[in-house]
Structure 1
Amino acid sequence: MSSFNLTINDALNSDLFKSARVLAGEKGLDKNIKWTHIIETDDFDDLLNGGELVLTTGTGLSLESSLNTYERLIDKHVAGICIEIGHHFTKLPAEIKQFADEHHFPVIAFEEVVKFVDITQHLHTHIIDQHHQMLHEISELTQAFTELSLSPNGILKILQKLNNQFQSYALFMTDEAKAYYYPPEGKAFNESLASYVQNHRNANVFENIITIDDKKFALSPVNVVGQIWDIYVFRLLKHLQTNFYLLC
């Protein structure tokens, strides 16, 4: 299955980041980048949704003196920040470096002048291309599921297809509390998942992601006339993007 993640490490491997140096937060370089955002103002809280790689020259920000700036960025779940060294930023104080390291928050410095427009265009193009590829794969899966659902033992064949696609456990919970699972080892999760489904079915409300015994599962209810009849369940693996499961 294709990978739909763009990490900070991936960005650093681009030629556009050849003058970049990681100042702090190296343990957070595997964070996914959802988008980029250029910030040159201290009033940025309402401009961020989370997952952004922030680009800045430091204008309007107190990046050498204000720990609170980094606290706010982390509170907004920003992926990391890239700062161009120049008039507004020359070095990262030890206190801020320690804080960023503790929170696995990447702080990256450009040691040469760079064109932020080139970086945003490059990363956004990559993200959009990934999104289009994801939609294409989902369309192909949907067609395959439709064909399999009309064949004998269709449910089991769909679960086998899901397992082959995601290399993960797949289960199907019916309204009669009957469960199908593939591979057979998925039976180990059946009782806990069945209990969750039974407790929430009457409310007709399910969380998209649940955690059972420190293992994450994605739930995809089958809705018929506004009512949840059956539920597909996938074991979430760390290297697969959650949004791909939810779109399925």
Structure 2
Amino acid sequence: HNALKKVNIIVTKTAEDDVLENRTFEISGTTEGGQEFKQTGATNSEGKLTFTDVPYGDYIVREIDAPNYYVVPDEQEVTINADKDVNLTFDNTLKKGSVQLIKVDSKNPDKKLSGAEFAVYKDTNGDGVYADTDELIGYMEEVSKGVYFYDNLPFGNYFVNETKAPEGYNLDPTFYGFVINSEDTVTVQNKDGVFVNEEIPTQPTTTPPDAPQTGQKSYVVPLLIIIILSVGVIIFFIIRNKKKNK
């Protein structure tokens, strides 16, 4: 029997998050001589894996057991019919989702509020409690009146924090945690599916102290009468004293 001709298949793994080690790949197919062939292996720290001594034949190479937060790359078909190593590259992109919130008046849920700002933070240690070490990712966009949105968030844990309230409303300083674990849109809420703000109470208008209050009796006229009478009494006594002195 003639010895089977063999080559190496070299797999190079790349990933959006740069995690390259211990990613498992499988090669399976039929040799030129009609025999079934199958191997599995894991990448090293540089994302490299070499399938050695692969006989001439037709094969499929695929990544297996990829974490669920990756978009699994397509399998690749390989035909080996020449004495030359084969190089294949597989790239993993991260699955991403989005977050939205709908901002409304606390007493009138039909009244949507514009002009707010919301910061999005990555929960770096995944403990669900905001810390100064958590990474600021960016700010939500107001895509329509009172509707705020942020897209392309890789699977993971995050926070939303209101950094600016709509004019005339109180700020909600709480850091609200949420999880992206699907490619759908997550809604952040602080009450009944929406994000409410309380309106700042209107301060009552005060009347200056020297202005007469509505409904109160004016003392201007009686005061003038008292002054006139007092002056009259003083004049009377002055005239009387002059007459006595004559």
Please classify the TM superposition score into its range, dividing by the shorter chain length.
Answer: under 0.3
Give the structure with the higher percent strand: 2
What TM-score does the superposition give when structure 2 sets the normalisation length?
0.21
When the two structures are superposed, what TM-score results if normalisation uses the length of structure 1? Answer: 0.21
| More helix as a share of residues | 1
